[in-house]
Amino acid sequence: MLIREVRVTPVAFRDPPLLNAMGVHQPWALRTIVEVVTDEGLTGLGETYGDLDHLEKVRDAAASITGLDVYHHNAVYAAVAAAVGADVVTDLHGLTGAASRVKTVDRVFSPFEVACLDIKGKAADRPVVDLLGGRVRDAVPYSAYLFYKWAGHPGAPEDAFGPALDPAGLVEQARVFVGRYGFQSIKLKGGVLPPRQEAEAILALREAFPEHPLRLDPNAVWSVDTSIEVGRRLAGVLEYLEDPTDGIDGMARVAGEVPMPLATNMCVVTPEHLPEAIERRAIGVLLIDHHYWGGLVRSAHIATLCATFGIELSMHSNSHLGISLAAMTHLAAATPSITHACDTHTPWQDGQDVIAPGALRFADGAVPVPDGPGLGVELDRDALAVMNEQYEKCGIRARDDVTYMRAVDPSFSTRRPRW
């Protein structure tokens, strides 16, 4: 079955002012929607980042895979690698570790791989989870992903979520998310306030939610000493501590001194990082993310390798739409070693999506694997057109939390370590 055409559509959707170590989310989040169409008339969907440098590579790659067989993932990968070329795309937002050529190729390949799997599933009348080995769970648990946030974007009225700038605000945010979606695990995006205040917020969450596993993720802005101090303070409270400090060396030094496992989506972001991280025992949990680990099949391979070395699996998330959520759900449903609730930004979308409603839902904090063939989701063409128009008009062409934050606080620093 040959690829006849590939459509690439950038989209933008409204995003609240979520705070993190690199600043604050801009009013619009960007994504790229990929549609691969075969000579037999089947269409497969993929979703990836929307930053312009990445979008351009995705467009180049799209042109280079026309005529290839959707079953020939290795040939598609080789064509994508050639189209990407030797230069490196930088991940400007600084929250998913360093950029490299391998990571760039894997990031560009991923939406095409997902779309090809969607097509193969449709052709076989099977869900993607069956192409990945079959389900080990019928529904995939996700975590309530809490953020410190302003009441609204500067100059705009308060948004639907309201402010969360202290422990009470975060507990209230958690109550809303747990109440609305039934989440059974809670993650706090840290790296925003001094570490002791973030530890206080975790303790307040523990009091309010005694049974929910909790995680804290300051995106590597703490020193080794601070990480050890906070890790010890939160002994018995955290399920895992995510990227407290920068680099495999720093993580290894912290890992040996704190009682809970360390997790990462920053110091291990390509296969090249695994040997040293394993040897140094730097991490106990890897947050896999098919968007930059080269798609679903490669992510499943990494999961197997991690299991061999006793590394547990969770899943990383960035602002995303429903095609990504469907792909994440199929992967996690087929991967036995993903034993921690996966991260998702879905609640922050506030209902905006490019897919037709109904295929994805949360029940008790988990997303049941969609029933239909392939990914089990369909594009809503009207919504796609609206979101594409939003992209054309919004003026944002890359995620840049730092510059947006500096418009409000010119002294904002991205120094690491900050505390």
What residues act catalytically? Answer: 189, 316
To the nearest whole angstrom, how small is the minimum distance from the Cβ of residue 361 to ligand GKR? 22
Tell me which of ligand GKR, Mg ion, none is bound by residue 96, counting a contact when its beta carbon lies within the kind-specific cut-off of 5 to 8 angstroms. ligand GKR
Which of 258/263 has CB closer to ligand GKR?
A: 263
Q: Is 219 in the site for ligand GKR (CB under 6 A)?
A: yes
Pseudo-torsion of CA 268, 57, 333, 315, nearest 10°? 30
Interface residue with ligand GKR, options 6, 20, 387, 404 (CB under 6 A) = 20
- Count of Cβ atoms closer than 10 Å to residue 391 Cβ: 22
Residues in 162-191 at the binding interface with ligand GKR, rule: CB under 6 A: 189
Interface residue with ligand GKR, options 107, 212, 215, 316 (CB under 6 A) = 316
Q: Is 343 in the site for Mg ion (CB under 5 A)?
A: no
Q: What is the side-by-side order of every strand in the sheet holding 3-14?
A: 3-14, 28-38, 43-49
User: Cα–Cα distance between 278 and 287 in angstroms, integer?
Assistant: 15
Residues in 193-232 at the binding interface with Mg ion, rule: CB under 5 A: 217
Q: Is 317 in the site for ligand GKR (CB under 6 A)?
A: yes
To the nearest whole angstrom, how small is the minimum distance from the Cβ of residue 92 to ligand GKR? 11
- Where is 145: in which H helix or E strand? strand 144-147
Category of 182 on φ-ψ map: left (φ > 0), alpha (ψ -120 to 50) or beta: left
Q: Is 346 in the site for ligand GKR (CB under 6 A)?
A: no
Distance separating the N- and C-terminal Cα atoms of the chain: 54
Q: Is 344 in the site for ligand GKR (CB under 6 A)?
A: no
User: Cα–Cα distance between 229 and 258 in angstroms, integer?
Assistant: 8
Strand pairing class (43-49; 28-38): antiparallel
Instruction: State phi, psi for 184 to the nearest 5 degrees.
Output: -110, 0
Residues in 252-311 at the binding interface with ligand GKR, rule: CB under 6 A: 265
Which of 64/319 has CB closer to ligand GKR?
A: 319
Residue from 199, 207, 209 nearest 232 by CA: 199
Query: Any idea which residue has 């993580």 for tokens?
Result: 251
To the nearest whole angstrom, how small is the minimum distance from the Cβ of residue 343 to ligand GKR? 6
User: Cα–Cα distance between 153 and 405 in angstroms, integer?
Assistant: 11
To the nearest whole angstrom, how small is the minimum distance from the Cβ of residue 291 to ligand GKR? 10
Interface residue with ligand GKR, options 48, 270, 318, 329 (CB under 6 A) = 318
Which of 120/340 has CB closer to Mg ion?
A: 340
Per-residue contact string for residues 232-251; x = within reach of Mg ion by CB under 5 A: ----------x---------
Q: Is 34 in the site for ligand GKR (CB under 6 A)?
A: no
To the nearest whole angstrom, how small is the minimum distance from the Cβ of residue 217 to Mg ion? 4
Task: Copy the structure tokens of residue 396.
Answer: 């944002």
Interface residue with ligand GKR, options 96, 104, 184, 324 (CB under 6 A) = 96
Tell me which of ligand GKR, Mg ion, none is bound by residue 18, counting a contact when its beta carbon lies within the kind-specific cut-off of 5 to 8 angstroms. ligand GKR
Q: Give how many residues touch ligand GKR by CB under 6 A.
A: 12
Per-residue contact string for residues 262-291; x = within reach of Mg ion by CB under 5 A: ---x--------------------------
Q: Is 223 in the site for ligand GKR (CB under 6 A)?
A: no
To the nearest whole angstrom, how small is the minimum distance from the Cβ of residue 242 to Mg ion? 5
Strand pairing class (312-315; 3-14): unpaired
Which of 94/127 has CB closer to ligand GKR?
A: 94
Tell me which of ligand GKR, Mg ion, none is bound by residue 317, counting a contact when its beta carbon lies within the kind-specific cut-off of 5 to 8 angstroms. ligand GKR
Category of 188 on φ-ψ map: left (φ > 0), alpha (ψ -120 to 50) or beta: beta
Contact by Cβ (8 Å): 320, 47: yes
Which of 121/169 has CB closer to ligand GKR?
A: 169
Burial of 280 (0-12, 13-18, 19+ CB in 10 A): middle
User: Cα–Cα distance between 411 and 413 in angstroms, integer?
Assistant: 6
Q: What is the CA radius of gyration of the chain?
A: 20
- Is omega for the bond preceding 417 within 30 degrees of 0, making it cis? yes
To the nearest whole angstrom, how small is the minimum distance from the Cβ of residue 314 to ligand GKR? 10
User: Cα–Cα distance between 42 and 35 in angstroms, integer?
Assistant: 10
Binding site for Mg ion (CB under 5 A): 217, 242, 265
Binding site for ligand GKR (CB under 6 A): 18, 20, 95-96, 189, 217, 219, 265, 316-319
